[in-house]
Amino acid sequence: MNRTELTELLVSYRDEMGYARLSKLIGHVDAHLCALLAQEDQEIFDALNDVARAIVVVDWRGPWVGRSQGTRQPLDALVVPACRILLEVALAHIPRATPEKGVRFAERAIDIASAYGDKSHTRRGFNVCSWLYNLTGSAADGVEYGLMAAARAKELDFNVGVVGALTNVNLSLILFGLHEEAIEIAERAYRAYSHDPDCKRHIGLIVGNAGHAALALKRYREAADYAKRAIDLHGDVTDTMGANDRIIDHFTWLKCAIALNEPATANDRMTAIEWIAREYPSPIAELHREFAEALYVGYAKKALMATAFKLGHLRSKTANYATFYVDLLAHLMRLASDTEDHGSALLFAGELVDAIASTRLSKVRERLIELGQTPKTVTPAKDSTQEIIDRIVSQALETQQTQRTRVATLGNRELTRSLEELAATAELCDDPSRRAIYRVGKLSKLLALELGYTEAEATALEHAARLHDIGKLGIPSAILAKPNMRLNESEYLVMWRHAAMGAQILGQCHEPIFALAAEIAHAHHEAWDGTGYPRNLQGEEIHEAARIVCLAENYDSMTHNRSYRHALTHPEAVEFISRNAGIQFDPEMTPVFIRVVERLLLFHGNRLDDWLAEDALANESRHRRQDGEHDTMLSRLADLVPDSVFAKLRGTLLDAQK
């Protein structure tokens, strides 16, 4: 099949969108899929992505009715080829250095396969998702999908699938910084499956990952040995995916040779990388070659300034490849430190924070697209952060009455629930129960009603208020979890960014409720006297909704334990709020708020928390069911993943999801 034939099939399906043409499109593409993906033709690959998108939007939940076709047709026969197309196209984004674009296809394959009871493609979908999420920097999703893939492969008695999934879990552990645990899992997998010739390539991958872990621990000789073993296990290079695996292992060995001051070995590794990249060209192979060359020239050849130039050139090329980009920034930090350029070292450290945050924001962005939203476009490369944020906020600003009218419709509840889940996750350090955002939302609604809002306006405010701290998703967990919140000046500056970051996340949505939520996120830390952050707004310059949430959030925070202090009693919290009326809080709203909480306590007593968080309680029962399913799944892997690793993973996942 050539480009013209593929395009004609797509056009034919789009013209009618009937079952027969869908079947023809999927059948023909599946039959020629390997040949199509092997061609180095971007237009063909773009067309294959269009085919995958067409498969994604089909309603696979039951018999299907085409646009011009009145009879219902069963989709069962199309499930396997459709899933195969989705997963192969998703995987093809890896050598093209665009893994983030494959996630949607892999997740849809899981949906389709699981709905039709196709255990094989469900397992493979989990594994592909794990790999893609790891490459985009979402290690929490990577480890969860990887463990599910491993458990399902165990259930199917499919050794290759078990090792492949554990390879992705292994990479997630490295991204979490659990390097010793990554090495232990690699050794267990090697002992359990190295005898199976079908597992040889995947054993090579997991051994190569052990090399990355040993390198991170600065055990250079051990890391070099793992890299050698991995190269031997991979065997001869036969395709671009295998070439990429081999390049990565040679790169690990090259880094070790540089650290061990072995120039001859470094030269041999560089030569091998150049040969593979030349013989099996792909965007990701070329990125690795350029990265390796930069380090080789800088450290093996002692030309640090040349390395700085080469690495700087790579920054723009790798910004969408999270794991690669973070590694690049780490080397730039080291280089700046080695040349005593401390200002640049701090700059690159700041970029690392931004890289972590942007990875998480991109996930929100993908979710918005999936739910039918069109995110607003910002261009960080051209605009300063403040300009971007100011533009987002200026689009949301209107008079208070106009905003009240516009937010009366709640809009997309599925999207709101998704963002609420993220917002609750962002608060896990201070609120393991995940209930605080619901209490703050309900208190905000009740105060709004007391101030004269309609029921619809107050309910919209309640849902918007739940998202007030979603910007903490972009703040490193080391800062959020710091004991007693004893932050230095630079850490405070990073922490304060969460308000603007929350506005940036929420500003990507078109629906009115999110414009309100963006205002709240941006301004709920402002103070009436102008001493708040991030914009030092004063008095009525602060959005009314943000002033409402400021009171609700502060009262809730003060009356509950935090990682850095014990809870205040209700009278102590009320005394603090009263004393700061006109300083931190709106002086007219403050007595109204105190009247609301006094009345609530009189009516609900010690059950007030449960009443305020009743929406959260419904979610908790669902989470408990999911936890039970996960425990059953993980028990199948007890011989391969030690309990100590599971214990660390459970804690690390909570931190990482922030």
In the chain, where the domains are located: 1-62+75-156, 371-612
| Residues 589/540, Cβ–Cβ less than 8 Å | no
| Residues 463/410, Cβ–Cβ less than 8 Å | yes
Residue 570: partners with Cβ closer than 8 Å, 6 or more residues away: 559, 597, 601
| Number of alpha carbons in the 13 Å side-chain half-sphere of residue 291 | 27
Return the residue matching tokens 């928390």: 609
Cα–Cα distance measured from residue 379 to residue 441, given in angstroms and rounded to the nearest whole number: 32
Q: Is the pLDDT of residue 577 over 50?
A: yes
Q: Is the pLDDT of residue 451 over 90?
A: yes
| Phi, psi (degrees; rounded to nearest 5) at 362 | -65, -30
Nearest to 298 by CA among 306, 290, 288, 286: 306
Count of other CB atoms within 10 angstroms of residue 540: 11
Q: What angle do CA 367, 369, 373 make, to 5 degrees?
A: 110
Give 594 or 366, the one with higher predicted confidence.
594
pLDDT at 361: 46
- Of 49-53, 256-260, 471-475, 553-557, least confident by mean pLDDT is 471-475
Region 102-119 average pLDDT: 91
Return the residue matching tokens 């197309």: 85
Q: How confident is the model at residue 509 (pLDDT cuts 50, 70, 90)?
A: low
> What CATH class is the domain 371-612?
mainly alpha
Q: Is the pLDDT of residue 304 over 80?
A: no
| Residues 427/437, Cβ–Cβ less than 8 Å | yes
Q: Is the pLDDT of residue 66 over 90?
A: no
pLDDT at 582: 95
Cα–Cα distance measured from residue 495 to residue 490, given in angstroms and rounded to the nearest whole number: 9
Give 595 or 497, the one with higher predicted confidence.
595
Diameter of the chain measured on Cα atoms: 79
The verdict on pTM exceeding 0.85 is no
pLDDT at 201: 87
> Which of 95-104, 284-293, 537-546: highest mean pLDDT?
537-546
Region 296-320 average pLDDT: 59
pLDDT at 38: 86
| Residues above pLDDT 90, as percent of the chain | 33
Angle between helix 436-450 and helix 589-604 axes, rounded to 10 deg: 120
pLDDT at 297: 77
Q: Is the pLDDT of residue 525 over 80?
A: yes
Q: How far is CA 124 from CA 83, 90, 140, in A?
A: 10, 12, 18
Q: Is the pLDDT of residue 351 over 70?
A: no
pLDDT at 350: 47
- Of 5-14, 277-286, 401-410, 545-554, least confident by mean pLDDT is 401-410
Q: Is the pLDDT of residue 374 over 50?
A: no
- CA 440 remoteness from chain centre: 26
| Residues 293/270, Cβ–Cβ less than 8 Å | yes
End-to-end CA distance of the chain: 46
> What CATH class is the domain 1-62+75-156?
mainly alpha
| Residues above pLDDT 70, as percent of the chain | 66
Cis amide bond preceding 534, omega within 30: yes
